[in-house]
Amino acid sequence: MHAFKLDERGHLVETDRVTLPETDPGHLYEGSPGVPSLPLGIWDHPKKNFLYVGFVTRNELGVYRYTHEGKLTFLTSVPNGGQDICWLLANRAGTRLYAVNNLNRKEAKDKAGSISIYDISGEKAERPVEIGRVQTPFPGESFINNRMFSQPGSTPFQMDLDPEEKFFYVINQRINQMPENKSTEGNFLHIFKVEKSGLLTLLDSRDLRKDGVPSKSRPQGVITLDR
């Protein structure tokens, strides 16, 4: 993982480079023996010098401290209740961190990908505590992926909070683009209510075909605007 700063001319200058630690091998996701730790998804604490990193192949949330000079120090990693931890997002208050888990957790008998909610308030900023997890609906029919194991045909990817942080949005992609998949469903925008606790309650799911999104596409990215 590399850290950069912007110089006076707007150029990127590398300030640090660190190798991800090989943490608990028991947290490897299915079908990945011998795969090293890899980062996918990063987010910083809005009030403290902590950087959160999704250790996707270890299925853990990594925590780093960073300095104003851009130096990184690995502190710890904590387990993730979902599977294939990917994108991360913290609220403005620095009390909750959300993680999209791309796959279903078979040990938990999940049918779909999920969103984990971590408490990062106070001392928990340095060692987050997972306080909840919700599955995303409409996972579609499972199929055998290129890693040779079964996964849902539609899984969650990018996410965002609305400006008032009352609602949480996550986009699901129709992952199974194999010719034998005749279903046109799979691309959805899921809307959750953010409870006072920071936990999520599903409100609605919008089929993006209604907005002209072709079924044989994989929409990425979601952003909310304050009007």
Count CA atoms within 13 Å of residue 15 on its CB side.
Answer: 15
| Phi, psi dihedral angles at 67 (to 5 degrees) | -100, 170
Higher pLDDT, 184 or 32: 184
Q: What is the CA radius of gyration of the chain?
A: 18
pLDDT score recorded for residue 37: 85
Q: Nearest-CA neighbor of 158 among 59, 46, 40, 60? A: 40
What is the pTM (predicted TM-score) of this model? 0.93
Higher pLDDT, 30 or 159: 159
Could you tell me the CA-to-CA distances from 94 to 97, 98, 125, 188, 192 in Å, in that order?
A: 8, 11, 8, 28, 19
Long-range interactions of 210-218: CB distance < 8 A, separation 24+: 213/187, 215/174, 215/183, 215/184, 215/185, 215/186, 215/187, 216/174, 216/177, 217/174, 217/187, 218/173, 218/174, 218/175, 218/177, 218/187
Q: What are the pLDDT digits (tens) for 55-90?
A: 998 889 999 999 998 899 999 999 999 999 999 999
Superfamily of domain 21-211 in CATH is YVTN repeat-like/Quinoprotein amine dehydrogenase (2.130.10.10)
Of 17-31, 58-72, 175-189, 195-209, which gets the smallest average pLDDT? 17-31
Place of tokens 């990215």: 221
For the cut 90, the answer to whether the pLDDT of residue 9 exceeds it is: yes
Residue 190's pLDDT band (boundaries 50, 70, 90)? very high
Domain boundaries, the chain: 21-211
pLDDT score recorded for residue 31: 56
